[in-house]
Structure 1
C-alpha cells in the first residue's frame, strides 16, 4: 500500500482534530500551533473512544472521556488512565500543501 491523499494543509484548522478512515484504519490528522501536521490512531487505548472528538493543545490530544493525553509526535500517553501508546503514521506534505498518509505504515512507541 502506498500513501493516500487525505486533505490539504489549508483544510486543516490549527489545533483541531480531523478524522479520516483509510483502508479501514481510523486516523486523526492534526495541524499543531507550529504548523506541523501529525497523524495518530483515532482510538484511545484506555477505552474505545474516538480521539478526534477530544481536545488538541500544543503537541497533545486529550481523550474527552477520561482525560488521557497523547503526544502527537510519539503516540505515548502522558497521563493515566491510558498507559498504552496509539500508533503514529508517517505524514508527507508536498510542495502544494497536499497531505499524504500511508495507513499501512505506522510506528508504536515502546
Structure 2
C-alpha cells in the first residue's frame, strides 16, 4: 500500500459535474476523480467487467454514475458498486482529499 498522495489538479480545475484522471505515482494505477456537487470521489479508472477506462464513458452527476462506453456497465461513483450487467464486481474506490489548494488521491490497496 502506498502512503504517497498523487496530485490530480488544482481544486478550481475540478468543478461540480466534472471528472479528471490521474495516475498514482507509486502503483501507476489510473484513478478517475469526480466532483459531485462539491463532494469528491475517486475510483480506479478501469471497468470491472472488461479492462477499459471508465473515464471514456458518460458521467451522470444527477444519478451519481459512470457508464462504461464499451458495454454499458454502470457504477455508483460514491462507492464503486456495479449497478447493472454486464458488470457484477465493484470498481476499486480510493481516498481523495483537498489540501494546499489541490485535489489529491492515492491507490490505498494492499
Q: Distance in 1 between matches of 2:101 and 2:7?
A: 11
1:98 aligns with 2:99: no
Aligned length: 104
Q: Distance in 2 between matches of 1:13 and 1:68?
A: 25
Normalised to the residue count of structure 2, the TM-score between the two structures is: 0.84
TM-score by length of 1: 0.84
Choose which of 2, 11, 21 in structure 1 pairs with 2:4. 2
Determine the structure 2 residue equivalent to 1:73.
Answer: 78
> Structure 2 vs 1, CA of residues 106 and 60 (structure 1 numbering), >3 Å: closer, same or farther?
farther
C-alpha root-mean-square deviation of aligned residues, in Å?
1.7
SS at match of 2:106: strand
Structure 2: gaps of 5 or more residues:
none
SS of the residue 2:52 aligns to: coil
Report if the CA contact (8 A) 2:15-2:38 is conserved.
no
Higher strand share: 1
Are 2:65 and 1:60 equivalent residues in the alignment?
A: yes
Gaps of 5+ in 1: none
- Runs in 1 of length 4+ with deviation above 6 angstroms? none
